[in-house]
Amino acid sequence: MSILMVGTDTRSRVWLVHTARIGDVVSHIARSVPLPGVREGSGTQPWSRLRLGWEAASHDLPSLLSVSDMLVTVGWPALQALERNDALSDLHVVTSLDAHLVAGRIGSRPPRRGAAEQRHKIALLNRARRILVLSVDDLRAIRAWGRSPVLLDAGASPTAGQGFATGVVDEQQLGIWLGAIVPGPHYEESFTTTMRRAVDASLPTMTALMDVCTRGEGPFRIQTLNLQHLYMAQKSAIFREAIATSHGITADGWPAVQLLNSGGARLERTTGSDFLRALLTSPELAGLRLGLIGDSEDSGDAFQRLVEQAKGHLVMREHGDKRDWDPRELVGRLHRAEADLALVAVTQPAGDLLGQELIGAGYTGVVIGIGASVAFVVGARVRAPRWVQALGLEWFFRFLQEPRRLWRRYFVEGIPTYLKVIRPMTSARVLE
């Protein structure tokens, strides 16, 4: 297998390294040091090609990608080089996150400049399909962003780790782990192409959605789209992949309905709250085994009572800190509980990416992201009245309830995306 490794030296200069030996990649990752500052053609280095600097990176990256099977990156400048070329990494190694970024996700609010830098680094990390970290702090911080990295631990064993065992790779097994990675396309898919895939995978009605969920036949992942999802899909190549690789698409919000229907989808709006209410009143719930990941323990208790009243079974629950969640561990619990349907009650993008990770980790049932729907169904949150929903103003009702949390989502991200991207695409019927 041909591997292209993009990294940085001690002066943050970008190196491009092309090799056919996984052992070469392992030796640098395991030592967690920058790429070697050796001269091309010195005769002492194992690499087949070596390039140095931004100019060389911009010039050589496309040509080297064309003859490479796998792309591995180390360091933020390497991801910036990919960003300039619209490329994606199969594996990114995080040597360290900045301290204020880690602290910002663990409890303290980062400074204004740090918040902007944090958003940019999240965007850069979302150019990597897999992430390898070297510390537990970085592992937990990146999990808070909705990704599921793996921890490299020189002293790990298959039974060690205390909560991270299934998310740990031992240095001695790193080569085997790398060799098992299935590389993806080197370049990102366009937003338009992803939306065309969503049209083809659409589940147009509540009846179609319920049929998939109550059969419990998988693996099958259902991806919901609302305006916030569309904003993130426009910005993030990895999030576009999460949409493109889903098995079924529903639309929660009239902008998504309009866009997908302009491509021939014939979708009706299907919200997570409406889906849960339909599930709780369906005779098909009897005997169905559900798993619930996310939301509060109090909401989980109330939801379990509703499920049991409807003769269903809530057989697996997880309400802990998502920074401690590992998809492989969650899949093991779902399988041991024989859960047919996994409800991921985590807001986007973390819930959507977690659903994708659950299928990737081997879950054989049906996965659907439901966001905050459990809280609405059990009465922990108040949903907009029907007449407000009919006017398409449910988003504004939610904003009035949580203005500090939602102002950016709606007024900085959502509305501009609709006016500049979604409405023009819908009017021009570009998805046809």
On the question of pLDDT at 51 being above 60, the answer is no
pTM of this structure = 0.85
Helices (H) and strands (E) in the chain, counts: 22, 14
Architecture label for domain 191-377: 3-Layer(aba) Sandwich (3.40)
Quote the pLDDT of residue 156. Answer: 47
**Which band of pLDDT confidence, cut at 50, 70 and 90, is reported for residue 5?**
confident
Tokens linked to 38: 């050796």
On the question of pLDDT at 201 being above 80, the answer is yes
**Which band of pLDDT confidence, cut at 50, 70 and 90, is reported for residue 110?**
very low
Provide CB contacts within 8 A for 153, sequence distance 6+: 161, 168, 169, 170, 171
Mean pLDDT of 244-270: 95
Q: How far is CA 288 from CA 261, 268, 274, 302, 312, in A?
A: 32, 25, 18, 18, 6
DSSP state for residue 382 in the 8-state scheme: P
**Cα-trace Rg, the chain:** 23
Tokens linked to 417: 């995306």
On the question of pLDDT at 72 being above 60, the answer is yes
Task: Look at 42-46, 191-195, 246-250 and tell me which has the smallest mean pLDDT.
Answer: 42-46
**Which band of pLDDT confidence, cut at 50, 70 and 90, is reported for residue 52?**
very low
Quote the pLDDT of residue 98. Answer: 64
Task: Look at 48-52, 140-144, 279-283, 349-353 and tell me which has the smallest mean pLDDT.
Answer: 48-52
Average pLDDT, the chain: 83
Quote the pLDDT of residue 67. Answer: 83
Q: What percent of the chain has pLDDT over 70?
A: 84
**Which band of pLDDT confidence, cut at 50, 70 and 90, is reported for residue 223?**
very high
On the question of pLDDT at 366 being above 90, the answer is yes
Quote the pLDDT of residue 159. Answer: 38
Distance of alpha carbon 122 from alpha carbon 97, whole angstroms: 11
